[in-house]
Amino acid sequence: MVVYPDDDVLVRSAEGPILPGSRPAPPKDLTSRQKAIWRDIVGAVDRDWFSETHPLLTELCAHTDYAREIAGRIEEVRRRLAGLPMGSKEEAALSRHLASLLRQHGKQSASIANLSTKLRLTPQARQSARAADQVRRRTGTKPWEGWEGGR
């Protein structure tokens, strides 16, 4: 059982025996949704994964929350657009708004990807160069090896 200390919420999850050390609690300045994201991320990795990276993790939680909020707005605008006649003034205005939301969402997604990589949360970042080389050697013949003029 892992316990996340927090003034607002005490979250428990079954993970086996309790080992020394604890998972970092979310900063108090995060919103409740961002704290939940923090707990999801921290709960998915080893107990000591995050050391001096709390500011990056805090930003990742915020960007994830913002991206989800923008995604909700995108869906709302898309629903409203579906019922409008093409070429109307309202349709044009909503289309511009949708384009803006999509750009904002793209920026949030890029920030999430960048921070996730820096925090070594992506599969690519978790794989060592040695392990990647071993996988490469196990994959067998390359498509371009043994190819003789396309015949």
At 48-101, the pLDDT tens digits run 888 788 999 999 999 999 999 999 999 999 999 998 999 999 999 999 999 999
* H or E stretch at 13: strand 11-13
Which residues face 3 on adjacent strands? 12
Helix H segments across 83-128? 89-118, 123-126
pTM comes to 0.70
In the structure encoding, which two tokens stand for residue 50, read together?
């995050």
Answer yes or no: are the C-beta atoms of 78 and 99 closer than 8 Å.
Answer: no
Burial of 58 from C-beta contacts in 10 A (0-12 / 13-18 / 19+) = middle
Helix H segments across the chain? 32-43, 54-82, 89-118, 123-126, 129-138
Place of tokens 């999509």: 102
At 93-142, the pLDDT tens digits run 999 999 999 999 999 999 999 999 999 898 776 666 666 667 667 766 66
The neighbour count for residue 136, using CB atoms within 10 Å, is 9
CA 139, CA 132: separation in Å to the nearest integer?
11
At 26-41, the pLDDT tens digits run 999 999 999 999 999 9
The neighbour count for residue 30, using CB atoms within 10 Å, is 18
